[in-house]
């Protein structure tokens, strides 16, 4: 029985030695901490939740540190949380690094995890510029979004309202990178004053609405008033809506500068809608004699001088050398208004105008006929540099537009004898000033 106490003592000693040693060896591992930090941009304060597990002695504390700050305890064995601020004064805007870790009961410390927190309380800045335009043609506006933090703005949208505040167009403009200039187009169906507003939202959901200065969309229509002897269309481009009505006729004589200059006027007004004076409507019949223009002849395809074919009291079929100097072989037509080109012009004139300007070349004068014509001519002279005057053979001219317009309608007509086929700024200003 002597061995029994010994065995018991050895067993007891082993038990005493082994049990604490085995317990201490069981927890050399650190806790594991997870959190629910959001991935994207936040525009309001939010709470990050933590939870930690430990295989051995158990979680003692959860710690967190923001950016370069000191760690603070944010939780314990049951988990923890931390509120992330997003003050309206934008003072916490930016990308922050959240470090977090836990310790266990016996002092094991977890290697810190890091999460990025993105806070943006600042709305993007949108700038919009809209160009003037014409009804029926696309109007372009350009815009740019700047956002200090979010790299892109999304869900951009455009709303166009008319002067009465009615929405006339909306468009989704997609996403845009900050700083990038983009363009949008829309086609107004009617002239008027339009307001443009673009809404932009950044990745955090901050929203900004920006408006452009109101833009005037002017009227523009193109219509065909007839066809030439050879079937070519005779077209008019009408700029503007109401106001004083100016008709500019070019190309009655196909071998002169009237048609190219009238076309340059059309091109200019299309490219520069703001150049169109207010309360003025301008009809440009750029090429009244398309067959003659195609053949570079003074007359039309039937050798009729269209500027001798109008139904004036002095119309004549036969044109003598004084009536038509330097252009033998032309006639005034078989009857007044016998030519389809003339009839198209007559129909247009019945629509009523306040002033007519007819473009010819190359006399280098402004021939003024009808009531008030000289005052208009003097204004145009000051702008264009061409003198007011008469062609030397004026008394012999029959059936001309310059005679017909005052005779039939009692309105002024300025026959411009151009000295250049290029429409310079002075002549352009003079033509636009004719309607004032
Ligand atoms: Zn001419």
| 38, 113: one domain | yes
DSSP string, 332-382: S-SSTT-SHHHHHHHHHHTT--SEEEEEEESS--EEEESTTHHHHHHHHHH
- The mean per-residue pLDDT over the stretch 125-146 comes to 91
How far CA 62 is from CA of 102, 285, 290, in Å, comes to 4, 85, 90
Structural element, H or E, at residue 349: helix 340-349
Confidence of residue 129 (pLDDT cuts 50, 70, 90): very high
Query: Which helix or strand (DSSP H or E) is residue 268 part of?
Result: helix 258-271
Cα–Cα distance, 121 to 91 (Å, whole number): 9
* Three-class secondary structure of residue 15 per DSSP: helix
The answer to the question of residue 232 being in a domain is yes
1, part of any domain: no
pLDDT of residue 25: 60
Distance 306 CA to ligand 1 centre (A): 10
Residue 87 lies in a domain: yes
> Residue 238 CB: number of other CB atoms within 10 A?
17
Note the pLDDT of residue 154.
75
| 338 belongs to a structural domain | yes
Token pair of 158 as six digits: 């455009």
- The CA distance from 216 to 214, in Å, is 7
Specify whether the CB–CB gap between 30 and 109 falls below 8 A: yes
Q: Residue 89 belongs to a domain with what CATH number?
A: 2.60.40.10
> Tokens 């601020």 — which residue?
85
Structure-block tokens of residue 132: 């003037």
Q: What is the pLDDT of residues 51-75, one digit of tens each?
A: 999 998 999 999 999 999 999 999 9
**Statement to judge: residues 288 and 314 lie in one domain:** yes
Residue 418 CA to ligand 1 center (angstroms) comes to 9
pLDDT of residue 149: 85
Residue 18 pLDDT level (bands cut at 50, 70, 90): very low
CB 434 within 8 A of CB 378: no
At 302-321, the pLDDT tens digits run: 999 999 999 999 999 999 99
Angle made by CA atoms 399, 330, 264, in degrees to the nearest 5: 75
Alpha-carbon separation of residue 385 from 362, 379, 381 (angstroms): 14, 10, 5
**How many domains does the chain divide into?**
3
Question: Out of 34-38, 162-166, 200-204, which region has the weakest mean confidence (pLDDT)?
Answer: 200-204
Cα 310 to ligand 1 centre (Å): 14
Question: What digits encode the pLDDT tens for the residues 381-433?
Answer: 999 999 999 999 999 999 999 999 999 999 999 999 999 999 999 999 999 99
Q: What separation in Å is there between the alpha carbon of 395 and the centre of ligand 1? A: 16
Q: What is the pLDDT of residue 242?
A: 84
Distance 97 CA to ligand 1 centre (A): 81
> Where residue 21 falls among pLDDT bands split at 50, 70, 90?
very low
Question: Does residue 6 have a pLDDT over 60?
Answer: no
Per-residue pLDDT averaged across 132-136, rounded? 92
CATH number of the domain bearing residue 251? 3.40.630.10
The candidate with the shortest Cα–Cα distance to 311, out of 216, 239, 398, is: 398
Q: Indicate the pLDDT class of residue 3, thresholds 50, 70 and 90.
A: very low
Element (H, E) at 5: helix 3-25
Q: How many whole angstroms separate alpha carbon 23 and alpha carbon 169?
A: 76
165-196 pLDDT, tens per residue? 999 999 999 988 888 899 999 999 999 999 99
Residues 99 and 134 in one domain: no
Whether residues 358 and 285 share a domain: the answer is: yes
Min mean pLDDT across 22-36, 97-111, 124-138 is at 22-36
Boundary of a domain, candidates 185, 216, 247: 216
CB 256 within 8 A of CB 358: no
Q: How far is the CA of 382 from the centre of ligand 1 (A)?
A: 22
Residue 12: is its pLDDT beyond 80?
A: no
Residue 268 CB-density burial (10 A; 0-12 exposed, 13-18 middle, 19+ buried): middle
d(CA 136, CA 192): 12
The whole-number pLDDT of residue 5 equals 46
Which DSSP category does 274 fall into? G
Parallel/antiparallel/unpaired status of strands 244-250 and 280-285: parallel
User: Which residue stretches of 77-171 are H helix?
Assistant: none
pLDDT one-digit tens code per residue, 144-170: 988 888 777 778 999 999 999 999 999
Q: Does the pLDDT of residue 238 top 90, yes or no?
A: yes
- φ, ψ for residue 2, nearest 5 deg: -70, -25
Residue from 382, 397, 383, 299 nearest 342 by CA = 299
Q: What is the pLDDT of residue 211?
A: 93
User: Which of 89, 119, 149 represents a domain boundary (last residue)?
Assistant: 119
Residue 253 alpha carbon to ligand 1 centre in Å: 5
Q: Is 342 helix (H, G, I), strand (E, B) or coil?
A: helix
Question: Do residues 83 and 144 share a domain?
Answer: no
Could you write out the DSSP letters of every residue in 44-57? S-EEEEEEEE-SSS
Q: What's the pLDDT tens digit per position in 108-123? A: 999 999 999 999 999 9
Q: Give the HSE-up count for residue 411: Cα atoms under 13 Å, Cβ half-sphere.
A: 17
Report, as an integer, the average pLDDT of 353-378: 97
CA 68 to chain centre: 47
User: Residue 271 domain-assigned?
Assistant: yes
Give the tens place of pLDDT for each residue, 273-298: 989 998 999 999 999 999 999 999 99
Whether residue 5 is contained in a domain is answered as no
Q: Supply the range of the domain harboring residue 162.
A: 125-216
Dist. CA 19–CA 21, nearest whole Å: 5
Is 167 in the same domain as 106?
Answer: no
Q: Is the pLDDT of residue 22 over 90?
A: no
> Which of 216, 247, 276 is a domain's end point?
216
- Specify whether 202 is located in the same domain as 345: no
Q: Residues 6 or more apart from 64 whose CB is under 8 A from it?
A: 48, 50, 71, 72, 74, 80, 82, 98, 99, 100
Residues 250 and 186 in one domain: no
Q: Are residues 293 and 264 in the same domain?
A: yes
- On average, the pLDDT of the chain sits at 92
Ligand 1 centroid – CA 392 distance (Å): 14
Q: Quick count: other Cβ atoms within 10 Å of Cβ 227?
A: 15
Q: What is the mean pLDDT of residues 200-222?
A: 92
Is 4 within a domain?
no
Look at the block and give the residue holding tokens 């007559």.
Answer: 346
- Separation of 256 CA from ligand 1 center, angstroms? 6
Q: How far is the CA of 298 from the centre of ligand 1 (A)?
A: 7
Output the domain CATH number for residue 152.
2.60.40.2550
Same-domain status, 49 and 170: no
User: How far does the centroid of ligand 1 lie from the alpha carbon of residue 259, in Å?
Assistant: 10
pLDDT in tens, 250-265: 999 999 999 999 999 9
Same domain, yes or no, for 284 and 297?
Answer: yes
pLDDT at 70: 97
| Half-sphere CA count of 247, side-chain side, radius 13 A | 25
16: in domain: no
Same structural domain for residues 171 and 259? Answer: no
The more confident residue out of 350 and 131 is 350
State residue 14's pLDDT score: 44
């Amino acid at each position: 029985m002597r061995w029994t106490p010994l065995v018991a003592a050895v067993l007891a000693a082993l038990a005493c030695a082994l049990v604490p040693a085995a317990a201490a060896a069981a927890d050399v591992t650190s806790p594991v901490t997870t959190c629910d930090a959001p991935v994207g941009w936040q525009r309001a304060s939010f709470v990050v939740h933590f939870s930690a597990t430990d295989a051995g002695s158990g979680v003692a504390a959860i710690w967190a540190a923001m950016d370069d700050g000191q760690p603070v305890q944010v939780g314990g064995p049951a988990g923890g949380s931390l509120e992330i601020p997003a003050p309206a004064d934008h003072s916490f805007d930016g990308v922050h690094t959240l470090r977090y870790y836990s310790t266990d009961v016996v002092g094991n410390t977890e290697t810190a995890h890091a999460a990025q927190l993105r806070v943006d309380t600042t709305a993007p800045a949108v700038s919009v510029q809209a160009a003037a335009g014409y009804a029926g043609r696309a109007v372009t506006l350009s815009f740019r979004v700047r956002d200090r933090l979010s790299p892109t703005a999304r869900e951009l949208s455009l709303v166009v309202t008319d002067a009465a505040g009615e929405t006339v167009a909306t468009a989704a403009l997609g996403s845009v990178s900050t700083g990038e200039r983009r363009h949008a187009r829309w086609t107004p169906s009617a002239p008027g004053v339009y307001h443009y507003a673009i809404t932009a939202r950044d990745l955090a959901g901050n929203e900004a609405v920006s408006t452009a200065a109101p833009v005037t969309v002017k009227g523009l229509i193109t219509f065909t008033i007839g066809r030439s002897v050879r079937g070519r269309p005779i077209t008019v481009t009408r700029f503007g809506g109401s106001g004083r009505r100016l008709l500019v006729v070019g190309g009655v004589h196909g071998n002169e500068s009237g048609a190219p200059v009238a076309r340059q006027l059309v091109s200019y007004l299309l490219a520069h809608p703001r150049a169109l004076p207010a309360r003025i409507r301008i009809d440009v019949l750029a090429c009244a004699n398309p067959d003659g223009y195609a053949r570079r002849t003074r007359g039309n395809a039937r050798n009729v001088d269209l500027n001798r074919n109008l139904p004036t009291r002095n119309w004549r079929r036969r044109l003598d050398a004084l009536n038509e100097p330097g252009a033998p072989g032309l006639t005034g037509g078989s009857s007044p208004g016998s030519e389809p080109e003339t009839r198209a012009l007559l129909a247009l004139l019945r629509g009523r105008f306040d002033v007519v300007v007819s473009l010819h070349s190359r006399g280098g004068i402004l021939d003024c006929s009808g009531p008030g014509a000289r005052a208009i001519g003097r204004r145009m002279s000051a702008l264009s540099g061409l003198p007011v005057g008469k062609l030397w053979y004026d008394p012999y001219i029959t059936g001309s537009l310059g005679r017909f317009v005052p005779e039939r309608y009692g309105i002024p007509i300025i026959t411009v004898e151009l000295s250049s086929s290029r429409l310079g700024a002075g002549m352009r200003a003079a033509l636009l000033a004719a309607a004032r």
